[in-house]
């Protein structure tokens, strides 16, 4: 475990319909984050495009690209130049008619370490992802980078404690969640909006507590179609405290310092992993217990 705190940054931006502009903005923000000292930098979900999953339409399939592919190579060159680790969320074309919501991890020397394919795919009004994405088939993964061992999960994955637990058990010290989540623009109740945002934070902070890890969620901002993305990217410490939090409206680069030695401290003082009764969890493999 790295004895020095690891500086991380989350890139929170709005997106437009021009993919080249979105990519250029992300590259600029990654450079800015690196100049501010960040060593691991994470983008929001599907950062090269608007969130096209609000409707079911065939046209957005043209946005997909191979992984690794053109964007991955740009990020590899950038990571090598800046000596930073980059976690980036992309629309992967695996084969004609087969697509994934995928995050790539590039190490600080520019090496492509691999990808994680989103496992949990939502299908709700405004979030019709099952139309576009095949569920991931690579399982949960960790990546040993120059600065830390990290796990990557994507948006809807963040509501599932099993995903966080398994990734933590594989050795992840920081869980990164590239995200695209917001309110339906027709939802005007401030109470409902606050409750939804609070639930989103609470479930992820609980992953940090239950597993004794850092959790970092990078969301987008701005209005796209019928969605108002709520930003509020944040980093939670290994006992659930907010280390840093971004605005709900403004583009920003959120910096945080992750003292990985705190993982051992909290896991020894609150030994949730020690006291797990693993032999009693077989029923978790069932969809429902009648």
The string of pLDDT tens digits covering residues 159-214 is 999 999 999 999 999 999 999 999 998 888 999 999 999 999 999 999 999 999 99
pLDDT greater than 90 at residue 4:
no
Give the span between the Cα atoms of 207 and 215, in whole angstroms.
Answer: 8
Domains and CATH numbers, the chain: 6-271 (3.60.110.10)
Active-site position among 15, 45, 243, 258: 45
Prediction pTM value:
0.96
What pLDDT shows up at residue 186? 87
The string of pLDDT tens digits covering residues 46-85 is 999 999 999 999 999 999 999 999 999 999 999 999 999 9
Give the span between the Cα atoms of 194 and 206, in whole angstroms.
Answer: 18
Catalytic residue at 25?
no
Dihedral of the alpha carbons of 261, 264, 270, 275, in degrees to the nearest 10:
160
Contact 65, 92 (CB under 8 A): yes
pLDDT greater than 60 at residue 220:
yes
Catalytic residue at 130?
no
Active-site position among 155, 173, 228, 243: 155
Contact 91, 49 (CB under 8 A): yes
Active-site position among 118, 224, 228, 258: 118
What pLDDT shows up at residue 185? 87
Catalytic residue at 155?
yes
Give the span between the Cα atoms of 42 and 30, in whole angstroms.
Answer: 8
């Amino acid at each position: 475990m790295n004895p020095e705190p690891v500086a991380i940054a989350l890139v929170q931006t709005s997106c437009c319909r021009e993919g080249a502009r979105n990519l250029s903005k992300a590259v600029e923000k990654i450079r800015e984050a690196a100049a501010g000292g960040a060593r691991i930098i994470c983008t929001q979900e599907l950062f090269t495009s608007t969130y096209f999953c609000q409707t079911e339409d065939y046209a957005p399939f043209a946005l997909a690209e191979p992984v690794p592919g053109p964007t991955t190579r740009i990020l590899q060159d950038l990571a090598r130049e800046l000596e930073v680790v980059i976690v980036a969320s992309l629309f992967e074309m695996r084969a004609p008619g087969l697509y994934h919501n995928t995050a790539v991890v590039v190490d600080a020397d520019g090496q492509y370490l691999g990808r994680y394919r989103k496992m949990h795919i939502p299908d709700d009004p405004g979030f019709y992802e099952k139309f576009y994405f095949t569920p991931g088939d690579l399982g949960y993964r960790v990546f040993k980078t120059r600065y830390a061992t990290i796990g990557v999960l994507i948006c809807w994955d963040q509501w599932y404690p099993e995903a966080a637990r398994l990734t933590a058990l594989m050795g992840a010290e920081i869980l990164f969640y590239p995200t695209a989540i917001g309110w339906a623009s027709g939802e005007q109740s401030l109470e409902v909006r606050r409750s939804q945002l609070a639930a989103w934070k609470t479930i992820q902070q609980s992953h940090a507590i239950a597993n004794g890890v850092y959790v970092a969620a990078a969301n987008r901002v701005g209005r796209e179609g019928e969605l108002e993305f709520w930003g509020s990217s944040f980093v939670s410490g290994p006992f659930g405290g907010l280390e840093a939090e971004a605005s709900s409206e403004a583009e920003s680069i959120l910096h945080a310092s992750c003292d990985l030695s705190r993982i051992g401290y909290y896991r020894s003082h609150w030994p949730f992993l020690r006291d797990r009764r693993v032999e009693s969890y077989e029923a978790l493999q069932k969809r429902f217990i009648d």
